[in-house]
Amino acid sequence: MKKSFPIFLAAVIFLAACSVGGGGGQQEQPTAMTFPTAAPTVTPIVVNPTPEPQNQTANAGDERVYPIDGMTQIYIPPGSFRMGGLDEGGGPDEEPDRQVTMTRGFWIDKVEVTNGMYMLCVQAGACNPPRTFSSASRPSYFNDPQYNNYPVVSVTWDDAVAYCTWAGRRLPTEAEWEYAARGTDFRIYPWGSDHPTAQHANFNFLVRDTMPVGSYPLGASPWGVLDMAGNVWEWVQDYYVQNFYEIAGNQDPMGPLAPASAQAGELRVVRGGSWQDPREELRVSNRGFSAAPDHNAQPGSERYLGEANQKTGFRCVSDN
């Protein structure tokens, strides 16, 4: 399960409902932005290789449209940043904060992978369908074209890896994810240090389900990356080990090479918080975790299948 999952869910829902519906009146809902997204097709699609290196002179914040699935990507240049908890809300697993140098630039998806994009991979036979086609409040979600521009959910870590591989990309490391969200200063959230509002992110049951990708331009990171706080948690590459920052390297850290223990199972890091989480979970340094499929476990068991829920999706990165 993820860190800081609400214990008294019913109480939280009640309080959130009160905060949205009472007092100062209903807040204006953000308007979704339009992005190039793939439209589902019945034509089988060939698995695609990684494109050849291109645009070697890219500048920070440059955009391109990835040819395989229509995803807009943003270039994150080499540089150094402070990784880990920098405010009083930080947890023990965010300590110690340290200076990290990223020696290589990379391209990161501007938004989370959408239902429409993921459908292409399913139709190509390279991805499994989501575990459920519904979302928190919608009986039909993945299989309903009106939600093509919403983030795919109910996918496991293996599913996210399969998609990024099919698309010629990969999952980001924790360090890449946090660098893309924080930039080179000491901000607490992608947009700065001000606490989130309904115009910054989808969180704290304000909407009670996912929103279209790119709906919160005020929540952009310093590089222009969107949806890195709220909407859905995002799988990243790294295993979750609580005290890893105590021994982690300071240059292009790749994360632990193995799980914390056989008893802990295949725990992988998730980042960014979701539509149901409080503001503390949206901090750029916050580390959550979920169970990835453990293929050493009993086939068919929960541990073998791994976790997939209606609050978790992903985005990909590429090196060229």
- Cα separations in angstroms, 294 against 231, 239, 250, 268, 307: 26, 12, 29, 11, 10
What is this structure's pTM? 0.85
With beta carbons less than 8 A apart as the criterion, state whether 237 and 265 touch. no
Both tokens assigned to 307: 């976790």
Q: Does residue 168 have a pLDDT over 90?
A: yes
Mean pLDDT calculated for residue range 193-218? 98
Query: Binning pLDDT at 50, 70 and 90, where does residue 40 land?
Result: very low
Q: Mean pLDDT over residues 144-169, rounded?
A: 98
Amino acid at 117: M
- Residue range 101-126, pLDDT digits in tens: 999 999 999 999 999 999 999 999 99
DSSP state of 272: S
- Residue 229 contacts residue 30 (beta carbons within 8 Å): no
Which residue is it, tokens 């990243």?
A: 236
The H or E element that residue 175 is part of is helix 174-182
CATH class of 1-320: alpha beta
